[in-house]
Amino acid sequence: MNKIIVIALLAFALNACAPHTAGIMASSTGEQRIDNTRFNSEVSVERVMVVGQGDPLKAAGTISSKVATDLRLQYKFTWYDINGLTIEDEGVSWKSLKLHGKQQMQVSAVAPNSSAVRCELYVRKAFSN
């Protein structure tokens, strides 16, 4: 019985130390999703918009720091077609970004092809291994 309690406590302690890679998302359609409320108290994602028609669209969004200290972040744009299916999502890597205290930075991306109609901008905290 004691072994089970020790193993359970050890597993809980290891999970508590694991980096939380969930973040926040904002869409060009106005939707927002918060997967990590603590991270949301440090960072916001605003004004995600898509510009252009027909040719590959261009998207931009603003990532803002709400804290006075430096933040190391990663962000990624995910593009969707008219049916809501992702477009070439596997080939897109996370991009690094460092925000100084209370800094705002606009980030942008170009759609992989002309079938894109909307996008989502996802931001998470970067952890070094």
pLDDT band at 15 (very low <50, low <70, confident <90, very high): very low
Number of domains making up the chain? 1
**By C-alpha distance, which of 77, 80, 76 is closest to 115?**
80
| Domain contains 5 | no
Q: Evaluate whether 58 touches 52 at the Cβ level (below 8 Å).
A: yes
| Domain contains 43 | yes
Q: What is the pTM of this model?
A: 0.81
Assess whether pLDDT exceeds 80 at residue 8. Answer: no
- Write down the mean pLDDT value for the chain: 87
Residue 49 to residue 51: CA distance in whole angstroms: 7
Residue 34 pLDDT: 95
Q: Evaluate whether 105 touches 62 at the Cβ level (below 8 Å).
A: yes
Residue 41 pLDDT: 96
Q: In CATH, what number is assigned to the domain containing residue 117?
A: 2.60.40.3230
Structural domain harbouring 27: 21-125
| Domain contains 2 | no
Residue 129 pLDDT: 54
Residue 78 to residue 109: CA distance in whole angstroms: 10
> What does the pLDDT look like over 69-107, one tens digit per residue?
999 999 999 999 999 999 987 878 999 999 999 999 999
